[in-house]
Amino acid sequence: MIAQRLQVIAPSETLKISGRAKELQREGKSVISLSQGEPDFKTPEHICDAAIKAVRDGHHGYTMNPGTPELREAICKKLKEENGLDYTPAQIILSNGAKQSIGFALYATLDKGDEVIIPAPYWVSYPEMVKLAEGTPVVVSTAFENDYKMTAEQLKEAITPKTKMLILCSPSNPTGSCYSKDELKALADVLKDHPNILILSDEIYEYIVFDGEHVGIAQAAPELKDRVLLINGFSKGFAMTGWRLGYLAATTDIVKAVGKIQSQLTSAPCTISQKAGEAAYLSPRDSVKKMVEAFRERRAYLVQALNEIEGVKCFNPGGAFYAFPDISAYLNSKTPSGDEIKTSTDLCMFLLEERGLAAVPGDAFGEPSGIRLSYAASMEHLQEAIKRLKEGLAALSK
Q: Which of 116, 165, 167, 169 binds ligand PLP (CB under 6 A)?
A: 169
* Contact (CB, 8 A) for 147 and 141: no
Q: Which of 123, 179, 281, 295 binds ligand PLP (CB under 6 A)?
A: 123
Q: Which residue is nearest to ligand PLP (CB)?
A: 97
From 97-105, 192-200, 253-261, 307-315, give the range in contact with ligand PLP by CB under 6 A: 97-105
Measured distance CA(24)–CA(3) in Å, rounded? 33
From 91-99, 150-158, 305-313, 336-344, give the range in contact with ligand PLP by CB under 6 A: 91-99
Task: Output the smallest distance, CB 125 to ligand PLP, in A.
Answer: 7
- CA-wise closest residue to 230 among 268, 257, 204, 263: 204
Task: Output the smallest distance, CB 397 to ligand PLP, in A.
Answer: 35
Q: Which of 114, 147, 183, 202 binds ligand PLP (CB under 6 A)?
A: 202
97 in contact with ligand PLP (CB under 6 A): yes
Q: Which of 39, 127, 233, 361 binds ligand PLP (CB under 6 A)?
A: 233
Task: Output the smallest distance, CB 320 to ligand PLP, in A.
Answer: 8
Q: Which of 204, 230, 258, 314 binds ligand PLP (CB under 6 A)?
A: 204
Q: Which of 79, 92, 94, 98 binds ligand PLP (CB under 6 A)?
A: 98
Taking residue 49's Cβ as centre, other Cβ atoms within 10 Å add up to: 12
Task: Output the smallest distance, CB 270 to ligand PLP, in A.
Answer: 13
Task: Output the smallest distance, CB 201 to ligand PLP, in A.
Answer: 11
Task: Output the smallest distance, CB 123 to ligand PLP, in A.
Answer: 4
Measured distance CA(258)–CA(213) in Å, rounded? 30
Say which amino acid occupies 243. Answer: W
Task: Output the smallest distance, CB 241 to ligand PLP, in A.
Answer: 5
Q: Which of 36, 241, 328, 335 binds ligand PLP (CB under 6 A)?
A: 241
- Would you call 284 exposed, middle or buried from its count of C-beta atoms within 10 A (0-12, 13-18, 19+)? exposed
Say which amino acid occupies 379. Answer: M
165: β partners: 116, 198
Runs of H (alpha helix) within 151-244: 152-158, 181-192, 217-220
SS3 210: coil
DSSP-derived letter for residue 268 is S
318 in contact with ligand PLP (CB under 6 A): no
Interior angle at CA 272, CA 269 and CA 273, nearest 5: 55
Of the pair 277, 368, the CB lying nearest ligand PLP is at: 277
DSSP states of 18-82 as a string? HHHHHHHHHTT---EE----S-SSPPPHHHHHHHHHHHHTT--S---TT--HHHHHHHHHHHHHH
176 in contact with ligand PLP (CB under 6 A): no
Q: Which residues ranging from 1 to 60 are in contact with ligand PLP (CB under 6 A)?
A: 37
* Contact (CB, 8 A) for 44 and 238: yes
148 in contact with ligand PLP (CB under 6 A): no
Bridge-based pairing of strands 228-233 and 198-202 is: parallel
Residues engaged in binding ligand PLP (CB under 6 A): 37, 97-99, 123, 169, 173, 202, 204, 233, 235, 241, 246
